[in-house]
Amino acid sequence: MNAADASVSDRLRPFGTTIFAEMTRLAMANNAINLSQGFPDFDGPDFVKEAAIEAIRAGHAQYARTQGVPLLNQAIAKRWAEDLGIDLDPDEQVTVTSGCTEAIAASMLGLVNPGDEVVLFEPYYDSYRACVAMAGGVARCVPLRPEGSTFAFDMDELRRAVTPRTKVVLLNTPHNPTGKVFSERELLAIAGVCIERNLIVISDEVYEHLVYESDQPHVRIATLPGMFERTLTLSSLGKTFSLTGWKVGWAVGPSGLSRALRSAHQFLTFATATPLQHAAAVAITRSDDYVADLVSRFRQKRDMLLDALIALGLKVFPPAGTYFIMADFSDVYDGDDISFCRRLTEDLGVAAIPPSVFYQQKELGQRFVRFAFCKKDETLLEAIKRLQGLQAWKVRR
Ligand SMILES: Cc1ncc(COP(=O)(O)O)c(C=O)c1O
């Protein structure tokens, strides 16, 4: 091993460079349309940008309180009271973090002891396993397998994944990369196991507002009976407001779990950018029309890309939430997902994500590709035009 490799800690060496950085680099090198990383190529709303500019002009320039600017904590608590009828203490039960990414890291570092086990559903967002490892924990994965046009887990596999060492179940709904929105029935079943085995739930809900089917609404596991007291719900501004670079996130949960998260948060970032927190408070308070319009635009984009992928012979799993489409390319290409995505970028000029990087059991993801559709219509149309090159790839069996 050379010195540079050896200098990375044992904890993090297995994780290498995140796939998002790698695919974005490959996309740029090939002048490809980037449908890999989940960020929009259009701007966030003016009313939120104006609020940030005003906050900067007003001199909100120094460190914020570690748990968040009071206005933002109050805005988040108010939404929970209005939408869910749950009264939160904004100072004790809401913590503002630097994106959901920091909330994931802080919750793992604040809750997980070396040797504790954390149950993840695979495929998982790539920072989960790295954060479990940073905390010295051990990840136990429960696969989401294709079932009809969506993905599902097996309750027996979930039960088997829980051992006497399990402390946390890390859930993500709506789910990246599958686009699955966990149903209330599924969440009740997960909740049952968590209550029976006295587990904590970390629920990553960054796509909470990006849901497209009225019969598959987003349900917060924290709202199910007996669950608020054992759940930290994480979210952020980035996905809902097309402001992924602002990195304003938050964690909501009972005081004890919030204290555990804060014990790490205070030493990770201490606080999040003050003027952006002021703007986030405005965003959350005045979001309804903006979000409804964004969701209807995303639904159209989803359908446009789905239709094109189906016409090209890919088997798609229409997402009920998020801004990603998982597709099975087996009828179009014979290799694995990494070589498929590399060829797609280099030969056709479209970058996508190879989902096997989101699995502990890599073979479960090797026939899939993930496309992000949070792009301008003209970007998607150009990508669809380039993807027509796939017709020449058809596998002859
Ligand atoms: C499931 C999931 N959680 C967390 C994040 C990161 O959120 P943030 O940008 O707020 O750190 C992402 C971003 O892609 C995500 O897909």
In this prediction, what percent of the chain has a pLDDT beyond 70? 98
Does the CB atom of residue 235 touch ligand 1 within 6 A? no
Does the CB atom of residue 322 touch ligand 1 within 6 A? no
Pocket test of ligand 1: the residue of 37, 178, 239, 243 to mutate, having most ligand atoms within 8 Å of its CB, is: 239
Q: Summarize pLDDT for 30-61 with one digit per residue, the tens.
A: 999 999 988 999 999 999 999 999 999 999 99
Q: Summarize pLDDT for 219-235 with one digit per residue, the tens.
A: 999 999 999 999 999 99
Q: 387 and 266 in one domain?
A: no
Tell me the whole-structure pTM to 2 decimals: 0.96
How many domains does the structure of the chain reveal?
Answer: 2
Question: Residue 287 pLDDT > 90, yes or no?
Answer: no
Q: Summarize pLDDT for 258-282 with one digit per residue, the tens.
A: 999 999 999 999 999 999 999 999 9
Last residue of a domain, one of 287, 320, 342: 287
Q: 187 and 280 in one domain?
A: yes
Q: 357 and 341 in one domain?
A: yes
Q: 197 and 263 in one domain?
A: yes
Q: 180 and 51 in one domain?
A: yes
Does the CB atom of residue 34 touch ligand 1 within 6 A? no
Q: 311 and 261 in one domain?
A: no
Please tell me the distance from the alpha carbon of residue 248 to that of residue 240, in angstroms, as a whole number: 11
Does the CB atom of residue 238 touch ligand 1 within 6 A? yes
Per-residue confidence (pLDDT) for residue 20, from 0 to 100: 79
Which CATH number does the domain housing residue 202 bear?
3.40.640.10
pLDDT tier, 150 (very low <50, low <70, confident <90, very high otherwise): very high
Q: 119 and 85 in one domain?
A: yes
3-state secondary structure the chain: CCHHHHHCCCCCHHHCCCHHHHHHHHHHHCCCEECCCCCCCCCCCHHHHHHHHHHHHCCCCCCCCCCCCHHHHHHHHHHHHHHHCCCCCCCCCEEEECHHHHHHHHHHHHHCCCCCEEEEEECCCCHHHHHHHHCCCEEEEEECEEECCEEECCHHHHHHHCCCCEEEEEEECCCCCCCCCCCHHHHHHHHHHHHHCCCEEEEECCCCCCECCCCCCCCCHHHCCCCHHHEEEEEECCCCCCCHHHCCEEEECCHHHHHHHHHHHHHHCCCCCHHHHHHHHHHHHCCHHHHHHHHHHHHHHHHHHHHHHHHCCCEEECCCECCEEEEECCCCCCCCHHHHHHHHHHHHCEECECHHHHCCCHHHHCCEEEEECCCCHHHHHHHHHHHHHHHHHCCCC
Q: 259 and 167 in one domain?
A: yes
The whole-number average pLDDT for the span 313-326 is 98
Per-residue confidence (pLDDT) for residue 5, from 0 to 100: 61
Q: 246 and 171 in one domain?
A: yes
Does the CB atom of residue 204 touch ligand 1 within 6 A? yes
Last residue of a domain, one of 228, 259, 287: 287
Pocket test of ligand 1: the residue of 37, 236, 248, 272 to mutate, having most ligand atoms within 8 Å of its CB, is: 236
3-state secondary structure 141-162: EEECEEECCEEECCHHHHHHHC
Q: 196 and 234 in one domain?
A: yes
Question: Residue 365 pLDDT > 80, yes or no?
Answer: yes
Q: 235 and 330 in one domain?
A: no
Domain hosting 115: range is 46-287
Spatial contact of 178 and 317, defined as CB atoms under 8 Å apart: yes
Last residue of a domain, one of 255, 287, 319: 287
Which CATH number does the domain housing residue 315 bear?
3.90.1150.10
What is the 388 CA–ligand 1 centroid distance (Å)? 30
Q: 224 and 80 in one domain?
A: yes
